[in-house]
Structure 1
Amino acid sequence: MNIVQRVDDTFEKELRQGPLRGVNAQIVFETPNSDWAARRSGLCVNLFLHSVEEDVAQRQSGETSIIDENGVVVGYTPPARFFKLGYALTVWGHSPRDEHLLFGTLLEWCVATEQLTPQSSKPTSPLTLKLRETPEGSEPMAMKLWPSLGTPARPVLDLLVTIPVSKPGTKVETEPIRSVTLRARTMEPPAPEDTPFRPPRPRGTARPRRRVEEIA
């Protein structure tokens, strides 16, 4: 399962267990253009993925040790890279009143929810969720979204989900050291040297003078 599928499935699970519990509404991830809007029927929540970008502020360098259940280093893995997925959440219903009622519930849920927990058999890191803020002086995302899709404007929540993406690690090439064995053996005494043994001079005795002959 790729990262986009993970986020889509997590979104659907969290919405079904949260604000859409007991609500007869579809959850779709289609492009809400004019053709789709014309074919739509019934109450619907649309999560349109409109952007993917890396969060370079969280990029790290170096490697992390991979340790097995015995505490032995068996490999190394580079740090994960984080990507931000932008979703446009909209509500489609039979009347504006139905849409506003559900849209308000979803807005409150988005404000109160900071993390999404993926459904997996293995322990995984939670995904961060927040409403994207429009920088001062910039055009809101909705002002650019609807004209490009040819759809009449409607309220939209610009959601931002951050997900870590890990690179494959490298295994330790040599077998890890699991035990150390020490062996001892008797050493033979060193052989005597060929030079004659000279006993040490007693302390206080003068060194014998060498005979020096003067050469004329």
Structure 2
Amino acid sequence: MIHEVDEGLRLLLVDAGIQESGVDLVFDAPTKEWSARRNAPTVSLFLHGIREDAARRRTGTAEEYDDRGMVTGRRTPPRWFELTYLVTAWTNRPQDEHRLLSEVLGCLVRSDVLPARMHTGTLAELGLTVEIEAASPGPDRASTVDVWSALGGGIKASIDLRVWAPLAGERTPAGPPVTEGLVVQAAPGRDGDGTGAGRRLRYDGASDPGGQGFAAERERQLPPGRRRRGSAAR
């Protein structure tokens, strides 16, 4: 999920035209060594914090169906995580950095969600809203100072960006429902007697499965109360 959020943010900035003037979009840590090697205008989105949004945690499972309306698996609810990025601009002059950072800020505050067309992978499959929040007021400014200290460089203008994204739950495959009873057939006896028609066990209305047993293809009936997809309700 994390790399899919990275790709969504990259597409968001590309769509805003940030790269049109030859600006590089990277997700590198802006360390002193990295900045010394930089040779082009650059916008860095450095991910430095990942924590679960426990208030959104849910329990239980949700069923998944195929085109015939049959249950194919069960999936646990997604878990939501808050990703925190340090967004910085790097050029040869502070004035250019501020101009570039202003363009990035304008793009990030234009919407409070990541547009669905920029979702990829599991984010697109889940179809859930991915919230973004840039430069919001909060009590976490000291943590940004700690990040700069850990990177080994001096503090510079930056944007605190938070993204709330879902991590898809675990999927457990499910077999098709049992729609026929169990029939047991005995093997030929030593005296050469043939096999009988079979003896029905436990279930009423079971039929003889034939020579191929239950491996033979047969029309499966839908469970009561469920209709095939695309069919009109009666």
Give the counterpart of 1:91 among 65, 68, 89: 89
Match of residue 61 from structure 2: 63
Counterpart in the other structure of 1:130: 133
Residue range with higher mean Cα deviation, 106-115 or 55-64: 106-115
Unaligned 5+ residue runs, structure 1?
181-216
In the TM superposition, what are the counterparts of 1:97-176 in structure 2 within 5 Å?
Answer: 97-116=95-114, 117-120=118-121, 123-125=125-127, 126-131=129-134, 133-136=136-139, 139-175=141-177
Shift of 1:79: 0.5
How big is each residue's C-alpha offset from its partner over 1:38-60, in whole Å with a ceiling of 9 and x where there is no partner? 11122000011101111111100
Deviations 1:87-121 (A, max 9, x none): 10000011111111111111111111222222359
| Equivalent pair of 1:73/1:176 in contact (CA under 8 Å) | no
Paired with 1:140 and 1:70, the residues of 2 have a C-alpha distance of: 55
Structure 2 unaligned residues grouped into runs of 5+: 180-219, 223-234
Equivalences, count: 177
Are 1:46 and 2:47 matched, yes or no?
no
Counterparts in 2 of 1:142 and 1:171: CA distance versus 1, 3 Å:
closer
| 2:4 aligned to which of 1, 6, 23 | 6
Contact kept in structure 1, 2:71 and 2:176, CA below 8 Å = no
Aligned to 1:179: 221
Cα offset, 1:124, TM superposition: 4.4
Identity of aligned residues (%): 27
Q: Structure 2 CA distance, aligned partners of 1:22 and 1:139?
A: 32
1:4 alignment partner AA: I
TM-score (norm 1): 0.73
Indicate yes or no: 2:22 matched with 1:24. yes
State the 1:86 CA deviation.
0.9
Q: 2:59, 2:77 within 8 Å by CA — same for their partners in 1?
A: yes
Pick closer, same or farther for the CA change 1:87–1:176 going to 2, 3 Å.
Answer: farther
TM-score scaled to structure 2, two decimals? 0.68
Q: Is the 8 A contact 1:90 1:157 kept in 2?
A: yes
Q: 1:129 to 1:103 in 2, by over 3 A?
A: same
Question: How far apart are the structure 2 equivalents of 1:132 and 1:176?
Answer: 56
Question: Which amino acid letter does the alignment assign opposite residue 90 of structure 1?
Answer: T
Give the distance between the partners of 1:146 and 1:166, measured in 2 at CA.
Answer: 32
Could you say which structure has the higher helix fraction? Answer: 2
Which residue number in structure 2 is paired with residue 187 of structure 1? none
Question: 2:105, 2:134 within 8 Å by CA — same for their partners in 1?
Answer: no
**CA gap 1:7/1:80 in 2 versus in 1, 3 angstroms:** same
Q: By how many angstroms is 1:75 displaced?
A: 2.2
Tell me whether 93-102 or 72-81 shows the greater mean CA deviation: 72-81
Q: Match of 1:145, as an amino acid?
A: V
